[in-house]
Amino acid sequence: MKSCLALALCARALFAQQTTVPPLESIVVTGTAEPLPLAEADRDVSVVRLPEKQRELYNSSLDLLQFDPALDLQQRSGGAMQADVSIRGASFGQTLVLLNGLRVNDVQTGHFNLDLPVPIEMLTDVEVLKGSGSALYGSDAIGGVINVRTRPLDPGEFKVSGGVGNFGVNEQHAVTSFGRGWWQQEFAFARDFSSGFEPDRDYRNLALSSQTALNSRLGATTLLFAYSDRPFGANNFYYSLEPQWERTKNWFASAHQDLGEKTEANFAYRKHTDLYVYIRDNPSYYTNWHTDESWQGNLRRHDNLPFHGVLSYGVEALAESVVSTNLGARDRMRGSGYIFYDLRSVRRFSLSAGIREEVYGDRSVATSPSLSGAAWLSGRFKLRAAVSRAYRLPSYTDLYYHDPGNIGNPNLKPESAVSYEGGADAYFKTNVHASITVFQRRDNNVIDFVKLAGSTLYQATNFDKLHFTGVEASAVYDPRSDQHFSVSFSALHGLNASPTISASKYTFVYPVEEAVIEWRGALAKNVIARTRIGVVNRVANDAYAVWDASAGYSAGRVRPFVQLTNITSTVYRDIPLVDMPKAGVIGGVELYIFGSSR
């Protein structure tokens, strides 16, 4: 405690003359033990918000993941049917996806981590922690954490929208909310389908969700229930030239309860089913079905300590199971406890230290420590640094899967990684912000499917060592309150310390460079628009650029919109063998049945 007091006094003296400070930003909850303003984060956290009056400019939740080049979004289809996401060169299984802070990663396979059952109408933003996050969130958070958040309820509205486009696209969406001060309710609905831009690339999507907010003497209560059903043509999705087909269903239920001002409890249940047909026109040749379930719960508390300190601690439990024609019947449980100490003087300095102990399997233990800090050199410039350790347990597909081209490995070891990062943030003006981060991650026992010597089979294998070093930079300029412009860039270099391991499926397809230019705002009175240009240069592939744009009317009861994707008809693949659509257009209208129309 004496050392903490000395640090606080030194920092207070050092920055006593500061007067110019950036404005307080929106509160973030990802990558921190307790919510805090984004400008005060000592980890590299980015936030992509879905403006309330600009919903018609975005087609799906995946649109929100395309604005940060540190995120590698590898899509297999239009309509957000299936996509892999990774951060800083990590695999899709090494990225943890949360929904309101609760895990949605799939124990069967990481290919379904983004299979979110909540329509975009119910979302408010996506927060991304770049770098290891196991100290806060446990397994899977090696590359980083993506936290998708639902919006606060706004009672008294009912709006519907519909659109049509090429490739046989047809969409219908609706959202309504109502209630009183102590009780609020929201329902959302989405139905999208397409005949496909090429054979066996058709899809259908149905998503239903309900969110309830209650206030009582005990504290705030939030209940979320969601369901989705997504059949789609999976031609070439899994490194096969056969016309494949797949159907996933997803059930999710969660409850959040405040227990006073310092304690909260959370609970969630998730069920996911997957029906996979290897040859669409001949299901008897090879068909798999999988059903996995997870139960999770946590109890979290924080206490204020002297000298700007906060102690956060909690316990969590997770039970996962799968019943599968291919994987068999499997289950496992995990329990963990964590503690974090946060010392912080707003716009002066911060120091966060924490550790998590997680018990899994036959009393195996994973320890995940984390240390980060930041210091404001002046009212406009901040330095930050962090070091942390993360781990990932193998998925059931990694361990037990088998088909004509792949075989799992029940002897796989858990993956682990140590991450280092340092960065700087500059707030030149209240509307001009720039940042840069350099990082290195050292992975051990990396899991991937590797082609065996003299065989056509891919077998799940542990890599000895894999190192990633990179840099990320971004600049944001908001010339007016209704205008936003940003430029961001990332560069990544991977070093394989096991040169005999090269013919793998997923590890060596990361982007060497990636850049994103974005603008959104008002073109004229009540006319809104956004545009994005993304450039990707993958390992052993040619670079390509994709340009998207959309526009709409933002006032009145009737609001037409148009969404354009891949305007230049770029021919590209995020995943080998899986072609992506050329130029697409969706035109439609959003109707405000009742509620605010401005």
The model's pLDDT over 190-226, given as tens digits with 9 standing for 90+, comes to 999 999 999 999 999 999 999 999 998 889 999 999 9
28 lies in a domain?
no
Per-residue model confidence (pLDDT) at position 498: 59
The model's pLDDT over 471-481, given as tens digits with 9 standing for 90+, comes to 999 999 999 88
Banded pLDDT at 497 (limits 50, 70, 90): low
23 lies in a domain?
no
DSSP strand pairing (458-462 vs 157-165): unpaired
Tokens of 460: 């799940």
| Dist CA 226 CA 491 (whole Å) | 37
216 lies in a domain?
yes
Residue 271 reports pLDDT greater than 90: yes
Residue 20 reports pLDDT greater than 50: no
Tokens of 584: 């697409």
Amino acid making up residue 101: G
- Provide DSSP, 436-497: EEEEEEEEES-EEEEEPTT-S-EEEEE-SEEEEEEEEEEEEE-SSTTEEEEEEEEEEEEEES
- Residue listed under structure tokens 């410039």: 381
Tokens of 203: 């899809």
Among candidate residues 352, 283, 280, the one with its CA nearest the CA of residue 136 = 352
The model's pLDDT over 162-176, given as tens digits with 9 standing for 90+, comes to 999 999 999 999 999
CATH number where 169 lies: 2.40.170.20
When mean pLDDT is compared across 17-31, 368-382, 459-473, 488-502, the lowest value belongs to 17-31
Residue 17 reports pLDDT greater than 70: no
- Specify the DSSP class assigned to residue 509: -
Classified as helix, coil or strand, 343 is strand
Per-residue model confidence (pLDDT) at position 7: 33
When mean pLDDT is compared across 133-137, 238-242, 317-321, 390-394, the lowest value belongs to 238-242
Residue 94, φ and ψ in degrees, nearest 5: -95, 15
- Specify the DSSP class assigned to residue 504: B
Per-residue model confidence (pLDDT) at position 5: 35
Half-sphere exposure of 491 (CA within 13 A, CB side): 4
High-pLDDT (> 90) share of the chain, %: 66
* Chain centre to alpha carbon of residue 174: 24
Do residues 86 and 93 lie in contact, with contact meaning Cβ atoms separated by under 8 Å? no
Look over the chain and give the mean of its residue pLDDT values, rounded to a whole number: 89
State the DSSP H helix or E strand holding residue 340, giving kind and residue range, or none if neither: strand 328-345
The model's pLDDT over 536-565, given as tens digits with 9 standing for 90+, comes to 999 878 899 999 999 999 989 999 999 999
Domain of 310 in residue numbering reads as 2-15+39-594
Residue 326 reports pLDDT greater than 80: yes
25 lies in a domain?
no
Total domains, the chain:
1
Amino acid making up residue 446: V
Mean pLDDT of 26-48: 86
When mean pLDDT is compared across 121-135, 211-225, 231-245, 425-439, the lowest value belongs to 231-245
Could you count the other beta carbons within 10 Å of the beta carbon of residue 260? 9
Per-residue model confidence (pLDDT) at position 241: 73
400 lies in a domain?
yes
| Dist CA 338 CA 264 (whole Å) | 15
Residue 285 reports pLDDT greater than 90: no
Do residues 93 and 110 lie in contact, with contact meaning Cβ atoms separated by under 8 Å? yes
24 lies in a domain?
no
- Residue listed under structure tokens 């056969």: 242
320 lies in a domain?
yes
Residue 170, φ and ψ in degrees, nearest 5: -145, 125
When mean pLDDT is compared across 6-15, 47-56, 87-96, 456-465, the lowest value belongs to 6-15
- Specify the DSSP class assigned to residue 363: T
Per-residue model confidence (pLDDT) at position 566: 95
Residue 481, φ and ψ in degrees, nearest 5: -65, -25
Among candidate residues 390, 558, 486, the one with its CA nearest the CA of residue 49 = 486
DSSP strand pairing (95-99 vs 144-150): parallel
Per-residue model confidence (pLDDT) at position 3: 36
22 lies in a domain?
no
Handedness of CA 102, 108, 112, 116 (dihedral sign): negative
Mean pLDDT of 83-89: 92
Per-residue model confidence (pLDDT) at position 578: 86
